Structures are given as C-alpha cells and as structure tokens.
C-alpha cells in the first residue's frame, strides 16, 4: 500500500544544538535505511520549509504508523498521511 506522507519538522529553539544535531544524524540514517529497503520510496524537500513530501510503501496502516513513530524527529513533527490508489488513467503500474 502506498501512502503520501507530508512531514513538517518543528524542532524547538530550546533544544540544545548537540541534541538536535544527533537527532538529525539518526533521522538521516534511518530514512536512508528505509529507502534502501524500499519502504520510503520517494523523499522530496519542500522548498523554503523544514518539511518534506514522501511516498511510503507499507503493508498496513499499522506498519506505516510504526515506521513514522520510530523516526528520531517524530516528537517534533506534524504529519499528514493520505492513502494512495492507482489512478485509472495512469500509464505506469505501481
């Protein structure tokens, strides 16, 4: 199942720089691991924001929730999830 996931990151300015940098490093490592596994299919930066638009491939809603909530920056994110279905006019199969 494919999901469009929009993530807005809001790290508080009160979080010390070393902690924030460590979380960002862990986030990058985890996102790249999920991409290599084919779970995080697309990752796009939203220009001018600390945000991204992504496509995830998960077997269920529960698996997607588990992946998202395991992200190191999850406590600082506003996330919107939209389930996706193949459009009948699309020429490429999912």
Sequence-distant (≥ 6) Cβ neighbours of residue 80 within 8 angstroms: 5, 6
Q: What is the mean pLDDT of the chain?
A: 96
Report pLDDT digits (tens) over 31-90.
999 999 999 999 999 999 999 999 999 999 999 999 999 999 999 999 999 999 999 999
Is 79 a member of any domain? Answer: yes
The domain tally of the chain equals: 1
Question: What CATH number did the domain enclosing 25 receive?
Answer: 3.30.70.1060
Is 42 a member of any domain? Answer: yes
Q: 58, 64 in Cβ contact below 8 A? A: yes
Q: By percentage, how much of the chain surpasses pLDDT 90?
A: 96
Is 90 a member of any domain? Answer: no
Report pLDDT digits (tens) over 50-65.
999 999 999 999 999 9
Per the document, the length of the chain is 94
């Amino acid at each position: 199942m494919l999901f469009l996931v929009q993530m807005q990151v809001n790290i508080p300015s009160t979080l010390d720089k070393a902690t924030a940098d460590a979380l960002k490093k862990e986030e990058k490592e985890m996102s790249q691991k999920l991409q290599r596994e084919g779970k995080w299919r697309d990752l796009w930066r939203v220009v001018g924001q600390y945000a991204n638009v992504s496509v995830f491939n998960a077997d269920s809603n529960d698996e997607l929730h588990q992946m998202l909530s395991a992200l190191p920056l999850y406590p600082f994110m506003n996330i919107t999830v939209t389930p996706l279905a193949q459009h009948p006019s699309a020429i490429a199969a999912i």
